A and B are shown apart, each in its own frame.
Chain A
């Protein structure tokens, strides 16, 4: 199965509008339909004993929304909060059975623009050997006129509940209870 065949269809399943944002100098995109809103960076209440990339929870107009640091999650260098940092609130599927969407905030460096990526500019996700995890990359959007490539994130799977539960379990096991006595 060559890439040529996969990219051949008239309408690539990935074509459409994407919100692009920066993470440590790299540009990423998520489907615009997944985006609920973009808010300025604000105080986050940390959650104890969670994986590092889960930064905590914040109050979004009376609703508590968990926040993750996409840079840490994707392994894109160390995070740093600047005046441009903001939180993109996304609506994600949490599991196959549950059709209702959960909200999740993602800390990004800056939000760039809304891109309309057409079929001919789509490329499948690359595979790398080594530590680089490309599992969350749906594909790449090439923008010839701007001379850049945007990695399109599979946001539903980036924080699939099962994975987080696994992580939480690990964390719980690493912390033996009652260490004090």
Chain B
């Protein structure tokens, strides 16, 4: 086996090797020599001359005699990978157990995250600085190692994908072509989802990888093709897959279309008033906006075009150029190209890359005041039209080389998309999307992609709110109508039927009005997983992030508001909560920390839970800090405080405003801000933490506009709504159940529990309502384990009510969570049970 280990060592050495680094080259040379010595006994047949050639190359490198060090190094790498495949170092050994070894898999999965983020980081770096060979070498090395590991596990599919990725990287390097980063990232994403599946279920089947393979292969061949004939005329632009599946895409398309329409209208104005800068500004803004959003969605081709058009318009703005008719024609063509790209996004044909490229070039030439290809300014090119002078080479000579390059660059790494890439989109894409057969990469005209987008209308929230309000009123009016005594006396079947029908329609209407405002947490959670990756990378921790319940629906406003606090909490969890891999190993935990984000319904609210298995904050330290900061009175004893009360101190304002809280994992930085944000949404934040084992933070959020089931009670002349979920029972106590306490207080024996009686009348300082326990009724309220008996005059009934806020002009009122409009049109106040229990001094358990 020494032969195999030698190969492994060479592979490792190669990863670190750069043509400039003599010491690593020397190490490499020594390993290759060792390999050659072992060659006769263990080396694969038919490759006898190879090790010598490699050795010669390495020697040349070391002595700096090589003319093309990069190529030579690549040749050595080729050699090594050839050897590897020949001796089967990469492939699972024949007859190996088909079952995946648990322990091995765990180890592998543990290391994967790091490897993946390394690749990802490297790829992004390469995207920015394509010339960095050492980054290239590292990425390739890591991919190679992963490929090897996948072979050992064995995960055949993953191995295939990595193999293809490796090939692609090699091709790009040897032919000096920019690496198609996006396609590799797609492969990474695929593998990521696979490992996530594996982590939970080892016998899982890998997600379909044909698409990924196709993409990689196609990219390789595309790149090949491109290298061969520079530009494939039929090549069409493509956008990253995730853009196609982006739920915000329809909105973007609609918006961008609107912008383009504006721009075109403005362009027509420009023709008659070429001097009017305001019109130019309007067009400029259009392209600027599109550029911004497209950039955000990684639509390179669109960004490039928007950018160069913008640059041209900027020249007009600065009055360096005057907008001539030719200019407007050119900008019109840009608008057309833009809209053809938008068409492509909504399932139309993909515009040619060459077309976009040409426009980019023409606009940048125009911006410099140089003549541009007049042919392009003659007719607005339609997406299907093949411009005669498509290749950039045909661009007029005055173009300096640099600009020609920069113009060509954007679309170069964008290969033609194959139809098979059309992943089923999350929610929007209807099931019946036709999946056209995979088209070979070089056909140029890919099968039409059908992304059917739901037509959307953008509606302002105020109008939406008004609608929901009105529907709410309709419900009330409808209830008032059906209960009208006059109508009740006319009991004809027809009236009855019509009333029922109206009732049904009203309910349906209410439901759909409500659903208009509900959105899932999916996109929020997705954003968080990106955040986790970034933060983990930055802080050098390895984190496995899982989410649960991202299809939980919440009111749109809550979903928007929740994002910031979540970002804060998750960043805290990773940055301060989780230990570094070394510390974790020391503490006997898996190297990979876990952060879990879960959303679920509990009671009448949504709970979002952020759980990590980090070191958690130390009680003593929090306590000490709180004393120092004067949050706790100086005589407080730690022993006397309930555990969760101590942890809750971190939510106190002032706990962490000044210096960074050292040692106690820094938790609490801005936690009071988080708490305030949550409380502003009528939510609640809670923490439970075990030192050394982890921390869970719970955000309890209301569904807001959601209807609640309420029990309507009367106390004096006012009616109040109690959320039914908080009510355990209601009863009128027997005299022998009541136990007077001290002078005024009373305890009531409920099924063996002695529970205090609180009169709503006294809590709210009302001067009406009964005091006699036998005249009114007791309602047993429960929240989070705490129970009290609330005494009210009577129960009026039970009904669903729409929670409404009491108007912005009022501050939050203690113990009142909102108002509800009852059937008679009057307002009843909704009691906040949680606050009520706190108010009467029942600590929640």
Q: A residues bordering B, Cβ < 8 Å?
A: 43, 45-50, 54, 56-59, 61-66, 92, 94, 98, 100, 102-104, 159, 161, 164-165, 168, 172, 175, 177-181
Contact A164 B821 (CB under 8 A): no
12 further contact pairs, Cβ within 8 A, besides A48-B816, A62-B821, A94-B808: A45-B829, A49-B765, A61-B473, A63-B469, A64-B807, A64-B821, A103-B809, A168-B814, A177-B840, A181-B741, A181-B745, A181-B841
The one of B742, B804, B815 that contacts A63, using a Cβ cutoff of 8 Å: B804
Contact A98 B827 (CB under 8 A): no
Contact A104 B809 (CB under 8 A): yes
Task: Determine whether B385 belongs to the interface, using a CB cutoff of 8 Å to chain A.
Answer: no
Contact B810 A180 (CB under 8 A): no
| Chain A proximity of B644: nearest CB distance (Å) | 21
Known interface pairs A62-B821, A92-B809; A48-B766 also in contact (CB < 8 Å) = yes
Contact A54 B810 (CB under 8 A): yes
Task: Determine whether B744 belongs to the interface, using a CB cutoff of 8 Å to chain A.
Answer: yes
> Which stretch in B76-84, B437-445, B755-763 binds the other chain?
B755-763
Contact A48 B809 (CB under 8 A): no
The 6 A-B pairs of least Cβ separation, nearest first, read: A48-B764, A62-B473, A102-B808, A181-B745, A102-B809, A45-B827
Write the chain B residue with the least CB distance to A63.
Answer: B469
Across-interface contacts of A94 in B (CB, < 8 A): 808-809
Given the complex of chains A and B, what is the CA–CA distance between A64 and B476 in angstroms? 14
Given the complex of chains A and B, what is the CA–CA distance between A71 and B164 in angstroms? 81
- 12 A-B contacts (beta carbon < 8 Å): A45-B718, A49-B814, A57-B827, A59-B826, A62-B470, A63-B807, A64-B827, A100-B808, A103-B807, A181-B741, A181-B744, A181-B840
Across-interface contacts of B805 in A (CB, < 8 A): 64
Known interface pairs A59-B821, A59-B825; A46-B809 also in contact (CB < 8 Å) = no
Write the chain A residue with the least CB distance to B828.
Answer: A45
Across-interface contacts of B426 in A (CB, < 8 A): none
Q: What does the 1/0 interface line of B801-832 toward A look like (CB < 8 Å)? A: 00011111111111110010100011111000
Known interface pairs A48-B766, A49-B764, A178-B840; A65-B744 also in contact (CB < 8 Å) = no
The one of A50, A102, A159 that contacts B813, using a Cβ cutoff of 8 Å: A50
Known interface pairs A59-B827, A62-B473; A104-B744 also in contact (CB < 8 Å) = no
Task: Determine whether B325 belongs to the interface, using a CB cutoff of 8 Å to chain A.
Answer: no
The one of B759, B825, B826 that contacts A180, using a Cβ cutoff of 8 Å: B759
| Chain A proximity of B379: nearest CB distance (Å) | 48
Given the complex of chains A and B, what is the CA–CA distance between A47 and B814 in angstroms? 10
Using a CB-CB cutoff of 8 Å, which residues 774-820 of chain B contact chain A?
A: 804-816, 819
Across-interface contacts of A50 in B (CB, < 8 A): 810, 813
Task: Determine whether B679 belongs to the interface, using a CB cutoff of 8 Å to chain A.
Answer: no
| Chain B proximity of A181: nearest CB distance (Å) | 4
| Chain B proximity of A96: nearest CB distance (Å) | 14
Task: Determine whether B92 belongs to the interface, using a CB cutoff of 8 Å to chain A.
Answer: no
Contact B841 A177 (CB under 8 A): yes
Task: Determine whether B326 belongs to the interface, using a CB cutoff of 8 Å to chain A.
Answer: no
Across-interface contacts of B476 in A (CB, < 8 A): 62
Known interface pairs A62-B476, A63-B469; A45-B819 also in contact (CB < 8 Å) = yes
| Chain A proximity of B132: nearest CB distance (Å) | 47
| Chain A proximity of B538: nearest CB distance (Å) | 32
Task: Determine whether B472 belongs to the interface, using a CB cutoff of 8 Å to chain A.
Answer: yes
Task: Determine whether B38 belongs to the interface, using a CB cutoff of 8 Å to chain A.
Answer: no
Given the complex of chains A and B, what is the CA–CA distance between A133 and B608 in angstroms? 49
Across-interface contacts of A181 in B (CB, < 8 A): 741-742, 744-745, 756, 758, 840-841
| Chain B proximity of A171: nearest CB distance (Å) | 9
Contact B811 A164 (CB under 8 A): yes
Task: Determine whether B839 belongs to the interface, using a CB cutoff of 8 Å to chain A.
Answer: yes
| Chain B proximity of A55: nearest CB distance (Å) | 12
Known interface pairs A62-B469, A64-B827, A178-B841; A102-B821 also in contact (CB < 8 Å) = no
Given the complex of chains A and B, what is the CA–CA distance between A100 and B808 in angstroms? 10
The one of A61, A66, A172 that contacts B806, using a Cβ cutoff of 8 Å: A66
Using a CB-CB cutoff of 8 Å, which residues 444-481 of chain B contact chain A?
A: 469-470, 472-473, 476
Contact A180 B473 (CB under 8 A): no
Given the complex of chains A and B, what is the CA–CA distance between A63 and B304 in angstroms? 49
Interface centre among B470, B757, B762, B826 (most CB of A within 10 A): B826
Known interface pairs A45-B819, A180-B762; A172-B470 also in contact (CB < 8 Å) = no
Given the complex of chains A and B, what is the CA–CA distance between A54 and B841 in angstroms? 27
Write the chain B residue with the least CB distance to A58.
Answer: B827
Across-interface contacts of B829 in A (CB, < 8 A): 45, 47-48, 57
| Chain B proximity of A163: nearest CB distance (Å) | 10
| Chain B proximity of A120: nearest CB distance (Å) | 34
Across-interface contacts of B811 in A (CB, < 8 A): 161, 164-165, 168
Write the chain B residue with the least CB distance to A61.
Answer: B473
Given the complex of chains A and B, what is the CA–CA distance between A98 and B807 in angstroms? 14
Write the chain B residue with the least CB distance to A167.
Answer: B811
Across-interface contacts of B756 in A (CB, < 8 A): 180-181
Contact A172 B807 (CB under 8 A): no
Given the complex of chains A and B, what is the CA–CA distance between A54 and B811 in angstroms? 11
Contact B470 A180 (CB under 8 A): no
Contact B807 A65 (CB under 8 A): yes
Contact B821 A172 (CB under 8 A): no
Across-interface contacts of B470 in A (CB, < 8 A): 62
Contact B741 A64 (CB under 8 A): no
Across-interface contacts of B808 in A (CB, < 8 A): 94, 98, 100, 102, 161
Given the complex of chains A and B, what is the CA–CA distance between A179 and B815 in angstroms? 15
Across-interface contacts of A57 in B (CB, < 8 A): 806-807, 810, 819, 827, 829
| Chain B proximity of A168: nearest CB distance (Å) | 5
Write the chain B residue with the least CB distance to A101.
Answer: B808
Given the complex of chains A and B, what is the CA–CA distance between A94 and B766 in angstroms? 28
Given the complex of chains A and B, what is the CA–CA distance between A64 and B770 in angstroms? 28
Across-interface contacts of A180 in B (CB, < 8 A): 744-745, 756-759, 762-763, 840
Write the chain A residue with the least CB distance to B841.
Answer: A178
Given the complex of chains A and B, what is the CA–CA distance between A103 and B469 in angstroms? 15
Across-interface contacts of B472 in A (CB, < 8 A): 62
Given the complex of chains A and B, what is the CA–CA distance between A153 and B818 in angstroms? 29
Across-interface contacts of B821 in A (CB, < 8 A): 59, 62, 64
Across-interface contacts of A98 in B (CB, < 8 A): 808
Across-interface contacts of B745 in A (CB, < 8 A): 180-181
Q: What does the 1/0 interface line of B552-574 toward A look like (CB < 8 Å)? A: 00000000000000000000000
Given the complex of chains A and B, what is the CA–CA distance between A65 and B805 in angstroms? 9
Interface centre among B805, B814, B828 (most CB of A within 10 A): B814
Across-interface contacts of B841 in A (CB, < 8 A): 177-178, 181
Across-interface contacts of A62 in B (CB, < 8 A): 469-470, 472-473, 476, 804, 821
Across-interface contacts of B759 in A (CB, < 8 A): 180
Across-interface contacts of B809 in A (CB, < 8 A): 66, 92, 94, 102-104, 159, 161, 164
Contact A102 B827 (CB under 8 A): no
| Chain A proximity of B784: nearest CB distance (Å) | 18
Write the chain A residue with the least CB distance to B465.
Answer: A63
| Chain A proximity of B783: nearest CB distance (Å) | 16
Given the complex of chains A and B, what is the CA–CA distance between A103 and B810 in angstroms? 10
| Chain A proximity of B561: nearest CB distance (Å) | 15
Q: What does the 1/0 interface line of B155-180 toward A look like (CB < 8 Å)? A: 00000000000000000000000000
Q: What does the 1/0 interface line of B234-277 toward A look like (CB < 8 Å)? A: 00000000000000000000000000000000000000000000
Given the complex of chains A and B, what is the CA–CA distance between A47 and B810 in angstroms? 11
